[in-house]
Structure 1
Amino acid sequence: MTTDVTSAVEPQGPEDAESSRSDAARAATRETLEDYTLRYAPRSYRRWLPGVVATSALGGIAYLADFSIGANIGIAHGTVNGLLGIAVAAVIIFVTGWPLAFYAARYNIDLDLITRGAGFGYYGSVITNVIFASFTFIFFATEGSIMAQGLQLGLHIPLPVGYLLSTFLIFPLVIFGMKVLAKLQVWTTPLWLLLMVVPVGYLIIGHPESVNTFFSYGGRDGGSANFASVMLAAGVCLSLIAQIAEQIDYLRFMPPRTPDNHRSWWRAVILAGPGWVIFGAVKQILGMFLAVYLISNVAGASQYANEPVQQFLGTYQQMMPHWLALLLAVVLVVISQVKINVTNAYSGSLAWTNSFTRVTKRYPGRIVFLVVNLAIALTLMEFNMFDFLNTILGFYANVAMAWICVVAADIGINKYLLKISPKAPEFRRGMLYNWNPVGVVALLLSGGISIAIFFGAFGPAVQPFSPIFAVAIAVLVTPVMAIVTRGRYYLRRTDDGIDLPMYDEHGNPSDTTLPCHVTGLDFERPDMIASARRGPDGEVRYLSSLALSTDRTGEHVLPPQ
């Protein structure tokens, strides 16, 4: 049940007003105890082993959109251009995703909280939250469309009804947080891997000629390898760069890194963080391979070779009776859609909630924005966005790359190389400036110019290279803006008013707890900040970051230092 924690009329008396605000903060806190919306994920909750967190995170990349993306770029540009484009995109995604994944796992915060202190400011990261929320409903709609295609093929359910089913199926699973999602991802992964890998292995072993056909395929125009086609293919693949934000929604629950677990900890962070793109690239190549196989062996297959359910059905039919092949293809599509869309819905609801609460100081409940996100995705499906997938992804790639590359550049260059940006992440209200021109200006320039290039504003010769411009501008402008502003807009304060260490002897966030004056609950040290209002005897009082984010009066916000 969703709770609007700030809908009550403010009482007139100051004591009643403070009591009402405390009740609102307590209600918001109770609702976020499962998924830690807007908050640092405390050590007391992070009880999973690194391998479990990694498996859960990788379960979120079970989507079949990779097969469609690979098929589309292969059909459009040919195998060689498609493979090179996938490789270019994978390298960029891995390099930019690495610092983000490390910060999430090391400091146990999501990408929104990382973005705040990596060049954008307390309110500035609202812009990137909207970008990420857009990613979740675009890919929810893509996967929902694929599932609807499977239901239509296997059960003759009309596509509009299939869109509804693929949406409503996800809702009850996402009401709960990380505990349920982790179990779902771990339990379904073995069957998903088996259904996906076996048919491809069969084709390679049983029909070796399909491999030669695949590598010689020239695409729709039959052209040879060329740089423009490679970059157009890479641009579509780079739309997935924002997937690192969904990986981080799991990685923030990593246990502390200690001498006893450091190997498994690093392995989990690398594989489930930037390493997700390795698995994604493999799926794109497999989608291209299956599409070429269908086009080469089935009459009229070019009309549907980009649909994953048709790709697997056509392959399964080489191995078994039609009814069993159809059953397995539909099962694979349904499992894949559920595995990824619980993550899309979950992460999208967090992103919308973060933005709304920060701007309005009201916490309406994550379930409200779960409904909003699913409604937008359903609308896209009903308008048949699948037919325009390449164009949508190509456009979105420029925006997503601008955001991710700016944050990665701030961490890698401004924090570690130039040492202008504070190395330790900061996300708490009052500690940050509301806006930081470093990230905001870099995002606007990178995204704006690359989008203009994408739509041909600088001529057709430059148009295919909009992804390169998005990356280059972000990486260049971010440190330049930090140097120009001399880093003065990163931290509003360096002292949070608490005389306790933030980190333990291994550099992990401390698990020491402090009482929150507003909610009456105990929170761990990294999630706390001193109140600007002293107690009746002049004693320091503490607030959790969530209580402070819902403080509409601003009376608890510490003054600039």
Structure 2
Amino acid sequence: MSTVSPPHDNATGAVRAGAAKETLEDYTLRFAPRSYRRWGTGTVAVSALGGIAYLADFAIGANIGISYGTSSALAGIALFAVVIFATGLPLAYYAARYNLDLDLITRGSGFGYYGSVVTNVIFASFTFIFFALEGSIMAQGLNLGLHIPNWLGYALSTVVIFPLVMYGMSLLSKLQLWTTPLWLLLMVAPFGYLVISHPESVGDFFAYRGESGTSGFSTSSMFLAAGVCLSLIAQIAEQIDYLRFMPPRTPDNARRWWTAVLLAGPGWVIFGALKQVVGLFLAVYILANVADGAGVANQPVHQFLEIYRDFLPAPVAMTLAVILVVISQVKINVTNAYSGSLAWTNSWTRVTRNYPGRLVFLGVNLAIALVLMEANMFDFLNTILGFYANCGMSWVVVVASDIAINKYLLKISPMQPEFRRGMLYAVNPVGFGSMIISAGVSILVFFGGLGEGIKPYSPLVAIVLALVLPPVLALATRGRYYLRRTDDGIDAPMYDEYGNPSGEVMECHVCHEQIERPDLTACRTHDAVVCSLCLSQDKVADHVLPAQV
């Protein structure tokens, strides 16, 4: 290889070095190295589960129950939980095992280096939709407890998040650990009180038929309810933003490692489904026992306030309800803002080959969320979540299908994930094509384009197509579009004796940072190595290895 630097190398090297230093706090866009992963399995798991403290589950459970009745809503929640767990397991395992976020996993699981940009946009949309939903709930609490106008509450719930997300995983892990015990107490206590002191509410809950008043269970209603719940399928990407910092799996920690991955990965849905059931339960109780309850039964702050009032003085009840709302919304919205900023930054850097800094897109994500809040998204919650679910399911199920079927069963897709520029084709039709077809057809079904009879089953259409198409397209293309190269030009091994990514350190000759082996490739024009972030910013492909013949 040539050792002569191109004329522009010094100038761009300084820019890339600055970008590299900025990303060393949270490893935006790149592999999370051993030297940074200093947390234990329990700490990572609790931090990840802290991100599901959101109260939107209570609103979702209440909305689908009020619309479709208890029986259909519970069946929809159960279907949602099964799908989320099954699809989330392979994704969570790959993230924890290979220390990559979901975008990096998606690249090598059928989408290609640029093909996964569209999934980043889908995920970024998830983060600002749910940031807006959670911020709206927080504003409702501030309005109820402190009489702050909603428009100002929306702004406050947005601005307060920015400084908390600036410092990445280091601060977020502390925040989640410190706030979780109080959050659990405030959330569980009122529900436990209600069941014990008003046992008749359990019978009323199971007998509730929803707004339509129709009796019994309805298959179409179940799928409509599941479709709303499945809008949360992209939550696994936020769990993975924490799980990528898991320590290496060894014989000594294997049991703890697997427990943490299962609970904090696909296991998040167990807690999410329980919250949806509780949200529906509280809504039914309020509808039956609170004057004008129909107007507030689907609003979590009012749900908890009414129960607190049953056994606490009014000022204390109000205070606790507001504290619960604020803690819950801060816990989840720091995760929404953090993950969203990563997704936007990742897409922008790959498309433009310029890294503007994660904080720029943190601001962008918060601004979009604020606009949604000011538009009062509660008025069209079921519609926006039902529509989004088709896109989210198509993405996540396609990646899960590629890992479980194409990698492990058919062995067409490379077993170890690949994410580095030059090693992958720009677009792989296996995953990219499967997602576009799955999302397109299911959205058409969702809006009634294929008839009203099939309209409720758009989630099923999305899941089936996303599950079946990847192996079909992989076989049709014989897997030739997965890897552009199989040799990254570095002789040192990629993995240690236990199959964990190697901790061997080398210097990137562009940014001059010490980078671990899995994040490097050989340089095309230098007898040296270059890191994945510098590769992503290489505008003229001086450092990108050529295709392997």
Q: TM-score, normalised by structure 1?
A: 0.96
1:404–1:309 distance in 2 versus 1, CA, 3 Å: same
Which residue of the other structure, out of 61, 86, 90, is the alignment partner of 1:99?
90
Aligned to 2:344: 352
8 Å Cα contact 2:337/2:366 also seen in 1: yes
Aligned to 2:499: 507
CA deviations 1:228-259 (Å, max 9, x no partner) are: 00000000000000000000000000000001
| 1:523 alignment partner, SS class | strand
Measure how far apart 1:28 and its partner are. 0.5
CA deviations 1:393-442 (Å, max 9, x no partner) are: 00000000000000000000000000000000000000000000011110
In 2, Cα distance between the equivalents of 1:66 and 1:464?
Answer: 21
Which residue of the other structure, out of 531, 545, 548, is the alignment partner of 2:532?
545
Say if 2:105 is the partner of 1:118.
Answer: no
In 1, Cα distance between the equivalents of 2:440 and 2:207?
Answer: 38
In 1, Cα distance between the equivalents of 2:399 and 2:34?
Answer: 25
Structure 2 unmatched runs, 5+: none
Q: In structure 1, what residue type is equivalent to 2:210?
A: G
Q: In structure 2, what residue type is equivalent to 1:33?
A: L
Measure how far apart 1:460 and its partner are. 1.1
Q: Which deviates more, 15-24 or 413-422? A: 15-24
In 2, Cα distance between the equivalents of 1:493 and 1:127?
Answer: 23
Q: In structure 2, what residue type is equivalent to 1:322?
A: A
Q: In structure 2, what residue type is equivalent to 1:364?
A: P
| 1:416 alignment partner, SS class | helix
Aligned to 1:458: 450
CA deviations 1:269-295 (Å, max 9, x no partner) are: 000000000000000000000000000
In 2, Cα distance between the equivalents of 1:387 and 1:420?
Answer: 46
Matches within 5 A, 1:34-45: 34-45=25-36
Measure how far apart 1:352 and its partner are. 0.2
Which residue of the other structure, out of 181, 190, 201, is the alignment partner of 1:199?
190
In 1, Cα distance between the equivalents of 2:147 and 2:107?
Answer: 48
| 2:311 alignment partner, SS class | coil
Which residue of the other structure, out of 249, 259, 263, is the alignment partner of 1:257?
249
CA deviations 1:124-151 (Å, max 9, x no partner) are: 0000000000000000000000000001
Matches within 5 A, 1:68-467: 68-223=59-214, 224-467=216-459
In 1, Cα distance between the equivalents of 2:274 and 2:112?
Answer: 37
* Ranges of 4+ aligned residues in structure 1 off by more than 2 Å: 13-16
Q: In structure 1, what residue type is equivalent to 2:335?
A: T
CA deviations 1:193-225 (Å, max 9, x no partner) are: 000000000000111011111011111011221
Q: In structure 1, what residue type is equivalent to 2:55?
A: L
Q: In structure 2, what residue type is equivalent to 1:118?
A: S
Which residue of the other structure, out of 477, 492, 502, is the alignment partner of 2:484?
492
Measure how far apart 1:299 and its partner are. 1.8
Measure how far apart 1:330 and its partner are. 0.5
Measure how far apart 1:15 and its partner are. 5.5
In 2, Cα distance between the equivalents of 1:551 and 1:560?
Answer: 16
In 1, Cα distance between the equivalents of 2:285 and 2:88?
Answer: 33
Measure how far apart 1:16 and its partner are. 5.0
Aligned to 1:557: 544
In 2, Cα distance between the equivalents of 1:403 and 1:136?
Answer: 15
CA deviations 1:453-503 (Å, max 9, x no partner) are: 000011111000000000000111111010111000000000000001100
Q: In structure 2, what residue type is equivalent to 1:80?
A: S
CA deviations 1:140-199 (Å, max 9, x no partner) are: 000000000001111111110000000001011001110100000000000000000000
Q: In structure 2, what residue type is equivalent to 1:124?
A: G
In 1, Cα distance between the equivalents of 2:287 and 2:480?
Answer: 58
CA deviations 1:59-87 (Å, max 9, x no partner) are: 00000000000000010011111100000
Measure how far apart 1:17 and its partner are. 1.4
Q: In structure 2, what residue type is equivalent to 1:508?
A: N
In 1, Cα distance between the equivalents of 2:474 and 2:79?
Answer: 28
Say if 2:522 is the partner of 1:530.
Answer: yes
Cα-Cα RMSD: 0.9
Q: In structure 2, what residue type is equivalent to 1:358?
A: R
Which residue of the other structure, out of 50, 54, 59, is the alignment partner of 2:50?
59
8 Å Cα contact 2:523/2:530 also seen in 1: yes
| 1:505 alignment partner, SS class | coil
Aligned to 1:3: none
Q: In structure 2, what residue type is equivalent to 1:44?
A: S
Q: In structure 2, what residue type is equivalent to 1:450?
A: S
In 2, Cα distance between the equivalents of 1:521 and 1:399?
Answer: 38
Say if 2:39 is the partner of 1:48.
Answer: yes
| 2:297 alignment partner, SS class | coil
| 2:8 alignment partner, SS class | helix
Q: In structure 2, what residue type is equivalent to 1:316?
A: Y
| 1:138 alignment partner, SS class | helix
| 1:149 alignment partner, SS class | helix
Structure 1 unmatched runs, 5+: 1-12, 535-539
8 Å Cα contact 2:127/2:340 also seen in 1: yes
Aligned to 1:25: 16
In 1, Cα distance between the equivalents of 2:260 and 2:522?
Answer: 35
1:14–1:256 distance in 2 versus 1, CA, 3 Å: closer
8 Å Cα contact 2:5/2:525 also seen in 1: no
Q: Percent identity?
A: 67
Q: In structure 1, what residue type is equivalent to 2:98?
A: Y
